[in-house]
Structures are given as C-alpha cells and as structure tokens.
A and B are shown apart, each in its own frame.
Chain A
Amino acid sequence: MSEIQEVAAPRRRINFGFDKYSGIYVWALLVLVFALWIPDLFLQTSTLKQVLTFQAISAIVALGLLLPVAAGAFDLTIAGTLTVSVCFTAWALTNGHGIVVAAGGSILIGVIIGLANSLVVVKLKVDSFIGTLGMSSVLIAIAYMITDSSQIVLSTSGYAPFFEFARTEMFGLPRSVYYAALIALFFWWILEYTPGGRYLYAVGGNPVASRLAGVRVGRVTMIAFISSGVTSAFAGIVYLSTIGTATPDSGSGYLLPAFSAVFLGATQIRPGRVNVLGTLVAIFLLATGVTGLQLAGAPSYVTQLFNGAALIIAVALASRTARRQG
C-alpha cells in the first residue's frame, strides 16, 4: 500500500445532486428549451408517444448491453444479433412457420450467439472488444445469407397477429414500450437486488479478486453474454413486429446509441457503475434532444451527431469522476 496514494476522509461539499442527477437537469433544460422554441410541435402528447415508441427498441438493446459491461466485457454483437433475429424471424414467417417457431428460433439464436461470444472471450481468451467485433461481422454475413442479400417485407394483411405483438396499444402506448419497461424492471432487480448483480459488478471491478473470493468469473461472463444475446434477439422480434421489413442492415443504427446510453447512464444515479435507471435517463435524454431538433427542422443526421458526441462526453465525464474519486 502506497502511503502517498492513501486517501484521506472524503470531501464534503454542498450537494444539489448535480453529480448523480445531472442527466435529469439537462433533460429538463432540453424540454424547457424546445417548449419555448417550438411549442406547437414539441408540447404534444404525440411527441411523447413518438419518443417512447421509437426508443423502446433502443432501450431494450441498451438494457441487454448492461450485463456484459457491468462484468467488464464489451459486447459489440448486439446490433448484429438484432439483425440476425429480424431476418430469421421474417424468413421463418414467410416460409410458413408459426409465430412461436419464428420467435422461439430467434431467441435460441440469441442464446447461441451468447455462447459463441463466451467461447471466444472466456475459453479462447480473446479480448472482448476484438472478439465480439469479429463476431458481429460474422453475424452480418449470416443475415445476408438468410435474406439472400435482399429484403423481406411482411405484408400488413398477411401477418396481422405478428404485428399485434409489438403494435397493439394499451393506455395509448404500443406494447413494445411495456416490454422495454418490463425488461428494465427485470435487469434492475438483477443488478441491484440479487447476488448475481453483485457478482457482475465484482467481476467488472476486479476479476482476480472475484475469483479468489469464489466467484465463477467465466460463468458470470458467459451468463452476461447469453443475457445480452437473448435481449438483442428479443429486440429483433419487436423491431420486425414494429417495422415489418427485414434487411441485412436493420440493426446498424442500434450499436452506438446503446453504448452511448449505457456509458452516459454510468455517470447518472449511481455514478461510476453502469446501471438501469441511469441508462433509461440517458436514452430519453438523447431521444428528447434528437426529436426536438428534428421537429425544429434539423436534418436527420443530428441523430448520429448527438449519439456520437454523447458517447464521448459520457466517457470523458466518467473518467473525470474516477479521477476525483481516485
């Protein structure tokens, strides 16, 4: 133990919660700005509904990413898994299989991708960033194989029961929003209130110490990958049911927003660790900004601009917090 690094008592300063809840303040500020700027367009219930609906899929994907990141592993296959799931489900439905086979098969594919990722990362000891980067390219190839390099369109009339899965509205919101909420609740419970959550954060914090405290580090990592695989596959089913068209690049827009949300979320609510509530705050903060700008007439590329900048700012903020604590 280095004496010079020894840390004295924590500083006390007046706390308005800017540390933990800065995202909520920024979000409120955004709402205020747009409310004053474009009141007729922005202050509509339809805007709220639009934000919630559009973000349901992003939220599910980002929530799935939480477990691997908590355990200190990157999972870059989330978008690829979503794409394969979308394409497989569409292929199965258009080839006369029932909804259960199509959806069940997709979930199974999610499990297999999770297992493959853990094989690469845990057994072959490939760095998770590189390993899942390679895997995601393989998945895109598989998506092209399934769709034969074109798109599969599900006609609204022919697949009505499947479209009900995500589109049916309850209390004015489509089911997809409730799925996202349920998944959030589930992961919140896992991370905050179960031994599994402790193990995930422990492995992410110090894998060597975790192993010597009896944590099965390999198994924890594997479960995290399987969970993100299944969650992304589920997001794929919701996507197809919402959009109705499968292409080999269906998932391309979901990778970066998920990482932005998770890392921006790690600066919120429980600073220093990725968490469910922070991730949700981040998703809606980003969505509000993007939607407001688009309503105000900004070009569609503001989405990419916003998400990319948010990821960098989030990580910069996180390392600043870490420095202050260190």
Chain B
Amino acid sequence: MTSATSATSALSVRNATKIFGAQVALDNVSIDVAVGEVRALVGQNGCGKSTLIKILAGFHEPEPGIEVLIGGSELALGDPVASEAAGLRFVHQDLGLVGNLDTIDNLALGQGYITNVTKTINWRKERTKAREALAALGYEINVNMPVAALQMSERTAVAIARAMSERGTPPKMLILDEPTANLPGPEAQRLYQLVRRVADSGVAVLFVSHHFDEVFEMAESVTVLRDGKLIETRPVAGLTEDALIELVVGRKLEEHDKGEAVDREHGTEVLQLSGVGGRNVSGMDLTVHQGEVVGVAGITGSGREEVAALVFGGHERSGEILVEGKTLPQNRPDISIQRGVALVPAERHANASLLDQTLRENITLVDPGRHMSLGILRRNPEKSDVRVWLDRLSVKPSGKTEYKMNQLSGGNQQKVILARWLRQEPSVLVLDEPTQGVDVGAKADIHTLVDEAAAQGAAVLLCSTDHEELVRVCDRVVIMRRGRAAEILRGDKITVDNITAATIGRDSAEPAA
C-alpha cells in the first residue's frame, strides 16, 4: 500500500508506535521527508524523537502496524544492516570518530582500504579519495592530520563524509543528531552550508535538535513531537521562535520577570577572587555577593571554560580565592566542598555522572554518610531524602531512586547532578554550562532553581555559552577575553546582542570595574 505522497518521498513513516513496558514512547507517528528536503525533528527530552530515530536505525523493533518506505521501497525493520542497505545514514552527536587516527583512516573504518595487487594499502588513492569526499562537502583539510586536531566543524564534516560514502548502496537519507550543538557561531555557519550541499545533491536530511538557531538556519520544515505524539509538521518560513517553543512545550513559557533591579552588588561578599590565574586565565579579580548571580561569558579559548574549575579548585592555579573570608586551597575539591562551594561541571558524562549507578548513589555521593547510624548506612532514610530532591527538581520518571543514571534522559540527568549540590545548601554555587543538551522545559526548570538558590542566599557563578541563559538569570555578566575579565555588563546592558558583541571584542559596553 503506497500512499500518494510517498512516491516522491525519501522517507515515509506510517503509524510508528513503540511501547516500553507500560510507557508509550511513540504513539502512531507518521512523517514524510521529501528528496532534497532538510527537516528538523524537535521536542523535549523523552518526547519520542530518539525512539523514532532508533526504529529507523534498526535498534528498536516497533509495534506492528507500522510501514516505513525509503525512496518508495519498504524497509525491513529491526535490522541495522537493512537500514544501512536501504540508504539510511546516521551521524551521532559524538560523531564516532577515532581521534588519534587521521581522516583517511576514519573514512576507511568499516569500509576497508583501497589496496594494490600486493594487498598493501594504496595510500595515494586513499588520500585522493578522502580529499574528494571532503571537497564535495565544501571542506579542504589536511587528511593526514589526526582528527582530534581538526576543528569541531571539520570533524563533523569527516563524520558526514563517512556517512555519505557509497558502502554498497548510495545514501538516500542522512540523519543527524544535534549537528551544531558544540560549535561556535562561525563554525556552525560552515556546517549549515555543508548540510545544504548534501541536500542539494538529492539526499534528504533529518536532524534532531534542541537548538532553535540551527532549526531556523538550516531546516526548511520542522516536525514537532510531544509525549510520543506527532504535534505538527510545518514549514520553517513564517514560524516564529515563540510559536515553535509553544509547540514543543505545549504551553506558553512563563515570561521571566526580572522584577525590580535589586542592588545585590553591595551585599555581603561571599566569593572573592584576586589575581587568579590558570592555564588560559590570568589576573582575574571578581567578587560575588550573597544572593547575586554573576555570569561568565566568552568565546572558546577566552578562559571562560576554565573559570569554574579554577574557582572550585579542580585545577592548578595562582592567586587567591576566599569564600566567606576563608582561603580555598587549590586542587582540593573536598575542602572547597567543606567551605560551602558546589560545582555543577560541564560535560556531565565525563565530569559528574556515575552512569551505571543509581540516582540515589549519584545524589548522595558528596556526603554518603549523612544517614549513617551505628556504623551502618540506613538505606530507607537515604531513599526518602533522595526522593524529596527528585520531586523538588521534578526529575522524570518521578520517585525512582533506584533507577540507574543511564536510564534517564539528558535533561533529567542534569537535574540529578543539580540535586546533588542543592542538597548541600551551598553558599557558593558554580555552574558550568548547566543546560548543555537540555530541552527547553528542563532548561526553564533549571533556571528557576538557580533563581531559588540565589534567593536563599547563595552566591552563584554561572559560566555559559548560552547568552540567552545569561540574560535570563544573571545580575552581572563578566566577559572573558584572552584570559582576562575584560568587561562587566550590568542591569539593562545585559542583552544577548551586547554579550555576543563583547565576547568577540567589540567595545560596546562599559569597561570592567
């Protein structure tokens, strides 16, 4: 049974349903992507978009009743090999490249090398082939350099080049996961062009995204999923960002009211940095007051990415840091914690999560001894303690203290890490990219929690590349340039445009105090 639309569609999915236990992850979703179309797939964490992608990739067996056509012919489901043979190609967010191998080797992985009669590798041909593959995407790179040494957008290009290679059948559809999530502005621009080229070559592109700028820049149309259901597919032209947010969340996001500008800058000094330096940062002075939220902005390499670790004591540093008048020693996170400092680090998988341990163990890691009596950790009080925090941060599914961390979606994992620290009632809360890879709803929740922590008297230092986030929560924003705190924005000077301008060094704001 072929519907009228699927004759021209690169991908046509009819009635996709997937049930896990009692939970309907995907509920009767149908979607068509035309040849040469670039389609964004958006929705909150847990909305079913990953499930849909995994069905296409052959990792999940969907419920019966589904029909998937690739270029008009039916796809055998539940078999990754069949998906690949049908022309579906996937690029994951982590790209799946081997960092210490060069582009040639990475392209050859999984498809083999061109060999001479003697079965030795023909490097000359391999090199030419690799160059051509990247040139077709608009990239000219040194194909003999380890890919770890390439720029992020170049690495993404290598991964896409690998996905787009022949491998038996020509690619019909490229599926990307948050392709520009980690890219700074100009590099993201290059990638938009790359995707355009891919689409122009007659391949359909479907990408999963949390980043609305990439949706608006790159996609022609957008499909929104919510709670496993298809909400709508719309052309991007004529769509506003607010309208899209409303589709994703299902309600209007509450307008954040900054309220009256309270002068917190002259309250009690909680965190003081004087002459702090590290690998990229030097001579940084900063004071954060009780109840104040200070943002740190800066482009990659400006020192912004190091500030959180320096304050917390995770790195070697020079200079002095005082918390409520007491010196923080360097390289001793345990003492920093005793003095009331909390750190929600960037890249939670590497720096914060115990992925195969329970939410309970993840949350109480900082002070597992809290519920100890007579030499024994009491599990029940610990569970109820943790449950309170899971509820307070509305972690979903709710109340599952014994779930493993890796059973949660990204936004919920981040909330668990935040719960770990809020439970300590810190006097200094340091956040590094707290909403990286987190959906709109969870992001709003996290911002509210930061507000609350500040309202309860914590001094908050928020390092972020998300300028809207800085505007949303900060009383002051420190701009890092070339390792120095170059400017400070205050009050109504804190706008996305001003921050962006200041980070790239246009002197539009007042000089640092």
Is B249 close to A, CB under 8 A? no
Is the Cβ of A2 less than 8 Å from the Cβ of B94? Answer: yes
Q: A12: CB under 8 A from chain B?
A: yes
Is B9 among interface residues, defined by CB-CB distance under 8 A?
no
Say whether B349 faces chain A, with CB atoms less than 8 Å apart: yes
Which of the residues A10, A199, A326 comes within 8 Å of B368, measured between beta carbons? A199
A205 B177 Cβ-Cβ under 8 A: no
- B470-501 at interface with A (beta carbon < 8 Å): none
Q: Is B229 an interface residue (CB 8 A)?
A: no
In the bound complex, residues from chain B placing their C-beta under 8 Å from that of A16 are none
Closest B residue, CB atoms, query A194: B377
| Binary interface encoding of chain A residues 176-212 relative to chain B, with 1 for a CB under 8 A from any of its CBs, else 0 | 0000000000000100111100110110011011111
Considering the complex, which residues of chain A in the window 46-79 have a beta carbon less than 8 Å from any beta carbon of chain B? none
**Interface presence of A7 (CB below 8 A):** yes
Which B residues are CB-close (under 8 A) to A10? 20-21, 403, 407
For the complex, is A14 an interface residue (Cβ under 8 Å from B)?
no
Which of B101-109, B256-264, B286-294, B355-363 participates in binding chain A?
A: B355-363
Contact across chains for B368 and A195 when beta carbons are under 8 A apart: yes
Contact of B365 among A1, A208, A213, A272 (CB under 8 A): A213
B372 and A9 contact, CB distance less than 8 A: no
Q: Is the CB of B21 within 8 A of A1?
A: no
* 12 CB-based A-B contacts, threshold 8 Å: A3-B210, A4-B53, A5-B50, A9-B23, A12-B22, A189-B376, A201-B361, A202-B354, A214-B336, A214-B338, A214-B366, A326-B406
User: Which residues from B are CB-within-8-Å of A216?
Assistant: 334
* Nearest-CB residue, chain A, relative to B361: A198
Interface size on A (CB < 8 Å)?
Answer: 37
Q: Tell which of A9, A205, A213, A215 has the most Cβ of chain B within 10 Å.
A: A213
Whether A2 and B92, one on each chain, are in contact in the complex, defined by CB atoms closer than 8 angstroms, is yes
B177 near A4 (CB under 8 angstroms)? yes
What A residues does B314 contact at CB under 8 A? 211-212
Q: Given A202-B365, A214-B337, A325-B404, 8 more contacts at CB 8 Å?
A: A1-B93, A3-B177, A9-B397, A189-B375, A193-B376, A211-B333, A213-B333, A216-B334
- A6 contacts chain B at the CB level, 8 A cutoff: yes
List residues of chain B with CB within 8 A of the CB of A205: 354-357
Does chain A have a CB within 8 A of B268?
A: no
The answer to whether A2 touches B93, judged by C-beta atoms less than 8 angstroms apart, is yes
Contact residue among A189, A194, A199, A325 (Cβ-Cβ distance under 8 Å from B356): A325
**Smallest CB-CB A-B distances: 4 pairs:** A1-B410, A1-B437, A2-B93, A198-B368
Number of A-B contacts (CB under 8 A): 143
User: In which size bucket is the chain B interface?
Assistant: 35 or more
Per the bound structure, the CA–CA distance linking A10 and B210 in Å amounts to: 24
**A residues apposed to B, CB below 8 Å:** 1-12, 189, 192-195, 198-199, 201-202, 205-206, 208-216, 272-273, 322, 325-326
Choose from A8, A209, A272, A322 the contact partner of B51 (Cβ within 8 Å): A8
Interface hub of A8, A11, A193, A216 (most chain B Cβ within 10 A):
A8
Smallest CB separation, B325 vs chain A (Å): 21
Known: A2-B178, A208-B351, A213-B420. A9 touches B93 (CB 8 A): no
Pick the contact of A209 from B334, B338, B351, B407 — CB < 8 Å? B351
Partner of A215, one of B93, B334, B356, B413: B334
Q: Interface digits, B86-115 against A, CB 8 Å rule (1 contact, 0 not)?
A: 000010111000000000000000000000
B343 at the interface (CB under 8 A from A): yes
Do A9 and B353 touch (CB < 8 A)?
no
Contact B337 A6 (CB under 8 A): no
- Please determine whether B406 and A212 come into contact, CB atoms closer than 8 angstroms: no
B49 touches A3 (CB 8 A): yes
Within 8 A of A (CB), among B166-203: 177-178
Partner of A212, one of B178, B208, B343: B343
Given contacts A12-B21, A212-B352, contact A3 B345 (CB under 8 A): no
Interface residues of B in 348-398 (CB under 8 A from A): 348-357, 361, 364-369, 372, 375-377, 397
